[in-house]
Amino acid sequence: MIDQRTIDEVLNRAEIEKVVGVRCELKKKGSHLFACCPFHSEDTPSFAVYTQSGTYHCYGCQKHGNAISFVMETENVTYPEAIKRLAKRFGVDVKEEKLTPEKEIEHRKKESMWAANERLLKVYQDEFAKSKEAQSYAYNRWGRDYCNLMGIGYCPPFSKLVDKASISDGIVAELNLKSEKGYDKLCNRIVIPIRDRFQRIIAFTARTLDKNCNTKYLNSAESLIYHKGENLFGIDAAWQPARKSGTLYVVEGAPDCMRLQSIGVLNAVAPLGTALTKEQL
Ligand SMILES: [Zn+2]
């Protein structure tokens, strides 16, 4: 497996505008760069490139990711191969770490869990695109631009959308995605992905649209890929700006973090458990 420090260095050097710029013509519009999406057919650019966070998001087909996923998708290669290609292009030495067979199996399982969350979010994003109620709530609260940067979704009341996301029963159970009656755990909520700094979706936090519900935000259960005490909300957007500026703001909870990031203070994060732990920093 490729060493984490190599991946960090690749993401640090392979600036997203350079990686995307090889394939797409980027034009400045407002505070971001836009291109015609390389993943779906269109005439007006809706593929946004966020240089600050090193990520992209398509307003049309909801594709979201960083330099590594861009190479994976456009050059049709695996995750390690995409890292190697970028490392070569941007002059980074690749260090590999040999995994034990047990670790190898665990890593594969993590990969299927990240992929499952990715597919589930896509289903929720399609619902978000259809729901005026969800859009009006989210855009009022965080602004359209930030909602797009995050790629948020919506799970309507009494949904059984997990069944639509082609996730194996084993992974559904491990990620604890369904209620006892078979409904989605996140029903009647705006679904906000929690990503790690490599843009992998490790969990969700979801804001209720029910005024009478006391649990305003519901987070995913802990799993092999998500440990409250080790992960920070907002790190996906905050990581690059924090590296560049040398400052990282730690706020109390995900809602505060979203408020700051939505007004352009991207280098903000929030702990997901109760107290801040050493692992998070
Ligand atoms: Zn697209």
| pLDDT per position as a tens digit, 230-252 | 899 999 999 989 988 999 999 99
- What residues form DSSP beta bridges with 28? 33
Q: How many Å is the Cα radius of gyration of the chain?
A: 18
- Is residue 270 within 8 A of residue 233, CB to CB? The reply is yes
CATH 3.40.1360.10 location in the chain: 228-281
Residues of the chain with CATH 3.90.980.10: 119-226
64 Cα to the center of ligand 1, angstroms: 9
CA of 157 to the centre of ligand 1 (A): 28
Q: How far is the CA of 173 from the centre of ligand 1 (A)?
A: 31
* 25 alpha carbon – ligand 1 mean position (Å): 14
CATH 3.40.1190.20 for the 4-89 domain, yes or no: no
Give dist(CA 152, CA 192) in Å, integer: 5
Give the bridge partners for 195, in sequence order: 201
- How close is the Cα of 179 to the center of ligand 1, in Å? 32
Q: Residue 111 Cα, ligand 1 centroid: separation in angstroms? A: 23
**Could you tell me where in the chain the CATH 3.90.580.10 domains are found?**
4-89
| Digit-coded pLDDT (tens) for 204-224 | 999 999 999 999 999 999 999
Share of the chain above pLDDT 90, in %: 81
* CATH class, range 119-226: alpha beta
Judge whether residue 278 has pLDDT over 70: no
- Residue 275 pLDDT more than 90? no
Q: What is the pTM of this model?
A: 0.87
Alpha carbon distance 224, 113 (integer Å): 9
Instruction: Locate 211 and state its tokens.
Output: 């005024």
C-beta of residue 55 within 8 angstroms of C-beta of residue 106: no
Query: Which residues have C-beta within 8 Å of that of residue 4, sequence separation ≥ 6?
Result: none
Task: State the Cα–Cα distance between residues 120 and 112, nearest whole angstrom.
Answer: 12
Q: How far is the CA of 54 from the centre of ligand 1 (A)?
A: 17
Measured in residues, the chain has a length of: 281
Q: Span 228-281: which CATH code?
A: 3.40.1360.10
126 CA → ligand 1 middle, Å: 13
Residue 58 CA, ligand 1 centroid: distance in Å = 5
Give pLDDT, residue 281: 61
Q: From the CA of 164, how far away is ligand 1's center (Å)?
A: 21
Neighbours of 243 (CB within 10 A): 16
Question: Residue 45 Cα, ligand 1 centroid: separation in angstroms?
Answer: 9
CA of 69 to the centre of ligand 1 (A): 14
**Ligand 1: centre distance to CA 276 (Å):** 37
